[in-house]
Structure formats: structure tokens, C-alpha cells
Structure 1
Amino acid sequence: MGKLGKKIGFIGTGQMGEAILKGLLTTELFEPDDIYVMDILDSRLQYLKENFGIAHLSSDRSTAYNYIVDNCDIVVLSIKPQVLKDVVECIKSCNWDKEKHTVISIIGGINTSFIEKYLPEIPVVRVMPNTPMLVNIGASGVAPGKNASKEHAKLVHGMFEALGVSYLVEEKYIDSITAISGCGPAYVYMMIEAMADGGVELGLPREMAQTLAAQTVMGGAKMILDTGEHPGKLKDKVCSPGGSTIAGVRALEQGAFRGTIMNAIEAGKVRMEEVGKKEESNK
């Protein structure tokens, strides 16, 4: 058994679910035999078996939910918002124990209160993780629901802190966290791709340009985290008077670089709120 001494079940294992699963195995918080998975795709289950050694697998919805609840202490809801209602309708009749179980929801836009209506006594903790957990450099927001105690919050916060950075917050902040760290990796990938494309245009081999761009972004991020300095101050240190960097900064400002990023963050939050309102209206 892993370091936590518990068993965990995943209902759904998309990209984010896989990132969490892999991170938990890498940090040895759980062993493969501690993990149970229900997914409707047999091909997905075969992938998890071959790549992570997971043996407790099922695609049979008529038996899998009970199998997971009966055997696991922690149940992770890692599914699309559109199918959540159908899933909670099925799992609400399982053998839940408020003293034993903790439910973790990583479903975008869905408040803990929605799940608590189907599992009224069970502790629910909402988490917004991100895919860099695949390499143990994740960033998460953790928000306990009304039935979750400090111990439940501490348990889940500790799990995700082992996979990177984790903040324990009020649930009202989760959509904002989603917009930054949940959606943010995509924006960073786009920046790296654009930097690499620029290097290729200037004659560099693609592999070299992409590695230089990715290493530069990683190094810049580490400088901020390690020094605690304001990004603007670090930027100024790179900009020599009349130099190439300040010329590039001007080009970015002309393209509304910072404003565009801020707009993207806001758009992500708005979409999460829209998803939540839509699912609430469909209940």
C-alpha cells in the first residue's frame, strides 16, 4: 500500500484524470493495487493497465460504481459536466459511509453543492488541477464543500501539494484558478510554439528552436518562483538600453500581448461560470 495508506477510485480517466493518477503513483502516495478505475472505454482501461499496472478496472456501469465505492476511501469524479447528472444518479444508491469516504470532484464549473444534493452526508472536495501534474509540476486549487472537515481538506490538499503547488481556498475562487492554472498551460504551449516558429523563420532547426523556447520559459518561471521578484523587475533586468530585448518588448506591446493574455484569463473564467449555470439549469 502507498504512503497514504488508502485506496482511491477514479470514475473517468481523461487527460486530467491520467495526470493525477500518474502523479500519485510517481510520488508513491498510492501503489497500482490501491487504484480502481471505471471508464466507459475499454481501450482506455487497457492503456492504463499496460502503462501504469492498474489491475482494478471496469467499464461495466452496472457494477463498477459499487465496486469502487465498496473498495475505496477516496472517489475521484473525473468526468465531463454533461454526464455528471447521470453518474450521480447512479452512484447515490451505493454504500456510502460518511466516516470513510471522501469525494474529490475535478469537474470544471460544477460546485460542490450540486454533488452534495445527491450525496447529502458525504464530504466533497472540489479541485482544479492541471495537466503538468504528469511531470509533478502541477498547480491546483482545493475547495472543501459544506460536509468536508479540516481533516478532509488537509488530506486532499496534501495529495495535490505532492504533485506541485496547491492552494486551499474558498470555492468562489476555483473558477478564477481554473482560468489561470487550468487553462494556462495551453497558452504557454502556444507561446513556446510561436517562439519556436520565430526561430525557424530565422534559420534555426525546429528541434533546437523548440528546446530553446521551452527551456527559456521554464527558466523564466523558475526565476520568478525562486527569487520572489516581480516579473516586471526581472523583465527590466533583461532589457538593455537600445537593445534587442526592449525592441522585442515594444513589438509585443504593439500587439497588445499583456492585454490579450488578460482577456484570455477572463474568458476562461466566464466560460467556467457558463458551464456551471447550464448544468444547474439542467438539474
Structure 2
Amino acid sequence: MREGRVLKALGGYFFVHDFESKEVYRCKIRGKLKNNGFDVITGDLVKFDLLEDGSGVVEERLERKNSLFRPVIANIDQVIITFAILEPDLDLKLLDRLLVLAEIADLEVVICINKVELSSLEMAKKQLFSYQKIGYKVIYTSVKEEIGLDDLEEVLKDNVSVFAGPSGVGKSSLLNSIQSDLELKVGEVSQRIKRGRHTTRHVELLSLDNGGWVADTPGFSSLDLSFINAEELQYFFPELMDYLGQCKFSTCSHSHEPHCAVKEAVTKEGIAEERYQNYLKFLEEIENKKRSW
């Protein structure tokens, strides 16, 4: 039986890259997999057999090391969270939301700030300083001025990566600049609503010449965090970890309680004010959603 990786799922078929032959086969799923409740998604590692007509049948899905639900993809090494510095404007609240989701999935994170030619590299670094201080890797890119493309290519080398971020920030343009034969469709930013139009319609893993695999995924503008418990949110903001357990109350939510070590750290600029405010907004969002159930 052959082993491979699902590159995309489309029209009821699963396109599987065979690890040995390096060929891609169009496969169906064996009925028993469906009957046993096994779903198969992009990124899954599978075992499959070939039929006489050259197509294949997926017989087994191997254990996943992780999975995301939006985009729907499995077995990722890292997420490249991509935003533009302008056009559309950098949305730090959405960035923090995506970082929380990446922390929940226990993924390595690289923040890519694109279109730096529209502002300045110095201004972009100033805006992202607090994220670098936390420990996130941040790279700055410009397709037009060919800034940071080598840095991005090095990050992608030998990794299975997923790009995430809103539409119109240049994810497809960046990938095309690194490897032109990908020929991904590029959309323009609407001048009326200042947001990008979706150019990617499904999740597909693409092979890179440097040994990496990358998923170009549909863009999005909001994500729900209500599936996590309010008391767990604190663990997905890494800069809070040094202060947990130092508050007066063991159940401190770091929102309204007195003698809170986190709030004190914000006052002393040990924790960025804007990040803390987004933590409070997410906390309120989660609590309000739970109350409405």
C-alpha cells in the first residue's frame, strides 16, 4: 500500500502526492472510512491503493499531529500570519485573534507584514515592536521593492506552512514572487471598502522548490473564539505567562479584580496596552457568547 499527503479535496476527489513516486493521484475514499467517522482533509497523511485505471482509493488516514478548522487543513508545521501595513490597513485586533488561534493549535508562528513600501520599514517595525518583544518572529516584505523575500523563502524551506490573514494583503503575490510557476491569482483591494477580494477558493498544498509545502487559503476577516473557555484565554497570550499565579485571587480573570499582577504589568509597560485591551475584548466576547447559550 502506498503512502502520501492529500494536496487538495475537490469535487468529491482527493488528490494525493505519493511520497515514493512523487506523482499525484486522484483518489476516492473507501466507504469504510466514512462509515467509521473518519474525515479526510487537505494535509492528511494517508495510505492508498492504485486501481487499474490509474486512479486511487484511500484506505486509511494516519494520525494527525494537528488540524485547523478555518482554513480546514491538517499536519501543519507553522502558520504565516500575513497582513499589509496599508491597503488594507493593519488590523491588530484581527492579528491578535489569529495569534490566539495559532497558540491554541500549538503552531509555530511567523508574522509577515507586507507592502512595507506603502509606509516605511521603520514605521512597520515600530508598530510590530511589541510582538517581537513577546518572542514572535516578524518579517517585513514588499513584492514591488523586493524587500524580505529571501527571509520569507528561508522561513518556508522544508516546512509545511499555511498562510493566514485577510484578503488583499498580498499572500498570493508573495508566493508568486518566491516561485513564479505557482501562478496564483492575485486580487485587488476595493477602493470603496478598503478590503481585498477573495482570490483563493479552496485549500490546496503547493510544492515549493526549496523542499517546503505551502497552503494558499481563502482569506477571512473574522473568527469566533467562543469555543474556548474564558479562563483558558490567558494561556494563549504568551506575555501573560510570567505573571500568572501572582495575582491576589487564584481565579483572577485580569479584567476587574484588585491586586492583579497582569494589570500592574500593563501599567508598568511590561505588557503592551493594545494587546491587553484585545485580551479584554476577546474575554468579553467569549463570556457574552456563553451567557447567550
More strand by share: 2
Assess same fold via TM > 0.5. no
TM-score by length of 2: 0.32
